[in-house]
Structure formats: structure tokens, C-alpha cells
Amino acid sequence: MKQRTLWSAVMVLGLGLAGCGSATRPASTPAESAKATKLVVWDWKSGDASAASYIQKAKADFAKKHPDVTLEFVAQPFEQYYTLLGAAIQSSTGPDVMLFNGGGQIRDRVGSLLPLDPYVTEDRQRLAGWDAFTKDGKTYAAPVTLQGHPIYYNKTLYEKAGLDPAKPAKTWDEFVGDCATIKKATGATCFALGNKEGIGIQFFLSGLGSSVLTPSEYDNWIAGKRDWTSPGVKKIFELWKESGDSGLNNEGANSTAMFNDAFSIFDAGKAAHIIGLMSDIGHWKDFSEFLGADKVGVMTAPLSITGATPSLPYDGGIGYAVAKWTKDPELASDLVRSLTATDALTSFYADAGAIASDTTIDVSQGPVAVGTIVSQLKSGKPALHVALSSKTLDLMGRLSQKLLSGSASVDDVVEELAASDRAS
């Protein structure tokens, strides 16, 4: 009987230890990685083939400064990225350096990030797009790419319709007229739009906003003084509804995914225009593969009111930030600086087609579309939708679907958005 007690005790102990072992192991990994001889980086880019040479050059640059520090890049799936990061932040364990989208995604999480201002002073002038990673005057990440919403157009369709591809419309009315001509000649719709995820409205708001709002209205919006019921803001949503009602969009926009069904529509020449992206995907390089590099044009937003000055909407797209819990902030910041070095970013531009944050990169050899985009960077302004909280963006996505399906009016929509914007 004594033996039986002993056995049960041994079993309890054994099971207990086994249980402890498996429970504590995941927790101990980040602790080890936080040693100053190793840095762990989380992103969703380093696994891509097109980012391989970028990562390699950044690693080489870092190795020159800190040869004895090992780097571990963990490529997470993007759909899961912020969920996984959220869990890591909750437990204050996780990577030392991590990739962020600019705007709401990083601003919601600055509590767990290290202000980088003292470390990146030398890069201030060379890199553009800092604002998207700044909150309350402090910078939390260094921009790698710029993300914005140029209006791309298909020059082949313009030619087929007898329009001059070098002179796209300057005003909204001309634009709608051109679209009617193209539709008649080629059957292609005016816009390729995907609003299944509610992202279409974000692109639309930012892509056309500068042609509807006066410069002071625009700047106020970015500064947080947003008057949702002003005629200008209402006009944007009216244009959105109008393009749906008058058949400017492809059919079934609410069930078409922006990523990547809407891009495919434009690629296939079934739509003449698309408000696309500058980096990652849905950009000049992607479109060029299907339409030909010289057939992809970039136009400024067609004017809806006099007094507006159309500009390219863009922000810092993605950028690397440093976690608060990293053991050696200076080391981690050095890695961020290597990840934004000119050499590395040039590779990223060349291989992935991203418009990199580095303003010293020479793009004169690239296609016309890139030249147009880069030439507009100077006069460009932050995109309107990036200034909104993720909660308001989510709501805007759902309401924009209602506008397209006709189950909500513009007045109701701006009122609801104003309430959500005030609350967040």
C-alpha cells in the first residue's frame, strides 16, 4: 500500500513536471531571444521572394555594425499578424523589432512601443512618410515604403475610345464624359471597384478627396478637426453613391474583393480606371505586367469643385518599430536603421515595385507611371482615411456598402460616421 502511495506520488510529480514543461516552454523562448546577442523581428514581408534581396541587404548592413548579433526574422501571415501581435503585447513578450502598417494600426499600439526620435534624427530628411508613424509628437517607427492612392488608368482603352491617353480628364464632369465614351467603345466600366471588405470606400475617399475638399478643409481633416456634415465631405459620399447608381463601377462591387478581384478586373482591361496602391500590391508594377509598362497611366484626381487643389494622397506605408520590452533599445534601433538604409530600400523598389520611403532613390530609369507618382510626392498630402480610427474605418466600410445597395442615405451615413469619429 505504501508502494501504491509512492507510485501515485511519482505519477503526480511526473505529470506535473510534464505539464509544467510544456506550459512554460513557449514563454521562455522570447525571454531567451531578448538577450542582447539576438534580435527577433516579426513581419509579413521577409518570406516574400520579392523582398528577399531587401532583407538580405539590410542584414548585411546590420552585420557590419554588429557582427556578433544574430537576427531572426519571423514572417507571420498578414491576416493573422495583428492578432498574434496583440497576444504578444498582452503578455509583454514577443519580438524586439516589428513591422507595422502606418496610421491606426500603429497608433492603437504605441503603449507597447519605444519612441525612436533620439535614434533616427539622421534619417529624418532622407526618408519620407514619418507622420503615419507618429503620435502626440513622438515617432514610433521608421518608414520603409510609402503607401498612397494614385488613380491609374488604362491607356489602351483610352486609345480604343479615341481619347488622348496623354490628357486624362481634369474635372469630374469631363471624367464622367470620358468614361461614357470608353464604355460605348470598349464596354469597359469606368472604375474597377472592390468593396467586399469595405476597403473600396477608403481608396475612394483618399483618392478623390483632394479634388473635393478645399486645401484648408483637407488640412483640418488631417489635423483631427473633421466636419463630417460640411458640403465638401458630403460631396465625397454623394460621388460614391453616384458612381454606384450611374453604373461607373463594375457590377457587384459589394461582393467583389479589392484584394485581388478588383485589381484583376483592371488587369483584364474590363475597367478603365482604378484607385490603386503605391506599394505592396495593386500598384504600377502589378498592372504593368498585364497591361504593359507604357500603357499604365497615373492621373490626378478630377476636380469636383473650384478651389480644390488635387494632390497625391500618401503616407508612410509600412515601417519597423521597436518594442518597449527589448533589452537593448539602441541595438534594436540600429536594426531599424539598417532596414531603412538606402541600399536596402533601392532593392525593395526594384524587386517589389514598392515606392520606397527613401527620397534619394533614382527612379528616372523606371516606367512613366513611377515617374509621375514620385514627381507628385513633394506636393502630396496624407491620405484622408488614414487619419480615421480603425473603428470608424470599419463602420465606414459597412455604411459604404449600404450606400451602394441603396439602404442608407448620405445624410444618415455622415451623421453615423461623425458620431463614431467623435467617440474615438
Partner 1 sequence: MPLRSSSSLVRPAGSGRANGPGTSPARHPAGSRQHARGARAERLAPYILLAPAILIIVALRLWPLLLGVNFSFTGDGADNGTTVGWANYLELLEDPLFRGALGNVGLLVVLLPVAVAIPGLLATFIYLRVPGHRVYRSVYFFPAVLSPVIIGAIFNLMLAFDGPLNAVLAVIGLGPVDWLGDPDVAKFTVVGVHIWATFGMALVVFLAGFASLNPSLLDAARVDGASLRQSIWHVIIPSLTRTIQFVFVTTMIGMLTSMFGLLYVMTSGGPEGSTYLPEYYIWIQQGQMNRPALASAASTVLFLIMLVAGLLQISVLRRAGREN
Selected from 37, 70, 83, 246, the binder of partner 1 by CB under 8 A is 83
Interaction between residue 264 and partner 1 (CB under 8 A): no
Interaction between residue 259 and partner 1 (CB under 8 A): no
Phi, psi of 134 (to 5 degrees): -115, 140
Interaction between residue 25 and partner 1 (CB under 8 A): no
Q: Which of residues 90-109 bind partner 1 (CB under 8 A)?
A: 90, 108-109
Interaction between residue 419 and partner 1 (CB under 8 A): no
Selected from 21, 67, 111, 162, the binder of partner 1 by CB under 8 A is 111
* Continuous segment of H or E residues that includes residue 288: helix 284-291
In angstroms, the CA 142 to CA 120 distance is 8
Shortest reach from residue 96's CB to partner 1, in Å: 20
Closest CA to 317 of 361, 383, 263: 383
Interaction between residue 375 and partner 1 (CB under 8 A): no
Is the backbone peptide bond immediately before 260 cis, with ω within 30 degrees of 0?
A: yes
Asked if 96 and 326 count as a contact pair (C-beta separation under 8 A), the reply is yes
In angstroms, the CA 379 to CA 135 distance is 23
* Residue 8 CB neighbour total at 10 angstroms: 10
Shortest reach from residue 255's CB to partner 1, in Å: 3
3-state class of 376 per DSSP? Answer: helix
Shortest reach from residue 264's CB to partner 1, in Å: 11
Shortest reach from residue 5's CB to partner 1, in Å: 4
Interaction between residue 371 and partner 1 (CB under 8 A): no
Using the contact rule CB under 8 A, the part of the chain among 7-15, 64-72, 166-174, 335-343 near partner 1 is: 7-15
Asked if 50 and 352 count as a contact pair (C-beta separation under 8 A), the reply is yes
Pairing of strands 38-43, 70-75: parallel
Interacting residue ranges for partner 1, rule: CB under 8 A: 1-2, 4-5, 8-9, 11-12, 15-16, 19, 23, 80, 82-83, 86, 90, 108-109, 111, 196-198, 251-256, 261, 390-391, 394, 397-399, 401-402, 405, 407
